[in-house]
Amino acid sequence: MLRALALILQRECFVKQGNLRKAYRHDAVKETLLHGFLFFKERWKQLLASVLVLVGVLASVYGFSYYKSQKNEQASLAYYMLQKEKLEGEKEREALKHIVAQYENTATAKLVQFKLLQGYISDQNKEEAESIFRALEKTSRNDPFFHTALLFEMANFYRDTKSFGLAAKLFEEASHIKGNVLEAESLFQLALCFELDGKKAEAKHLYQELLERSEKAFESVKERSQERLIWLSAVNQENVS
């Protein structure tokens, strides 16, 4: 309001001086300020409510983030204390499951689930391994590194148990993950699954594609791909002869 009063006094001075152009400009500014004041006067309750809602949302987000951070710290501490107990076998497994249940959806709980998965894979317990894999697979898609490691772990298990089709599916999925630093390895393992599954043509085609890739990340699989192609060609010649 003081600003508006000052503008009115300035305008009167400009009129007395005959400077109508400046007086007109001040009229426009004064009108804008007046409209702004009236708008704020009529809508201040709505504006205040909007500000309060925004503050509430920000407080909720901060509170939830703090809660998640605290919960994850508690989960990490519980896992650390469990490791100090040096439990083995089913006792350790039950203790790990308890951490997962108590601190669900924390980063530590996911790592504990991954440890459980590795244990079931080591025991060749396909049913339990697949159950944990499905649970983790749903929640790990936003973390490309963890998701890739999860797919590799289960794909290797399927390949080792001669479920080559299932292994190939997971390696192919891993190769499409954005930000996957193991794209080249994913494709090589996919080709190897084709080869082991008797799909020689698909394997040779993919090995050849890997040799033709120019990216630096693919250098690590080129030598192995070349070796597999030589082997497949030798086997094919033996079969022909």
Please state the pTM of the whole predicted model. 0.68
Q: Which sequence spans correspond to the domains of the chain? A: 88-139, 157-241
Cβ contact 93:82 at 8 Å: no
- CB 141, CB 131: distance < 8 Å: no
DSSP 241: -
pLDDT per residue as tens digits for the range 159-205: 999 999 999 999 999 999 988 889 999 999 999 999 999 999 999 99
Listed residue (52, 15, 10) closest to 29, CA to CA? 10
Higher pLDDT, 126 or 101: 126
C-alpha to C-alpha distance for 102 and 123, rounded to whole angstroms = 25
Band the pLDDT of 8: cuts 50, 70, 90: very low
Question: Which ranges constitute the DSSP H helices of the chain?
Answer: 2-16, 20-85, 89-102, 107-122, 126-139, 144-160, 164-175, 183-196, 200-212, 219-240
CB 93 within 8 A of CB 122: no
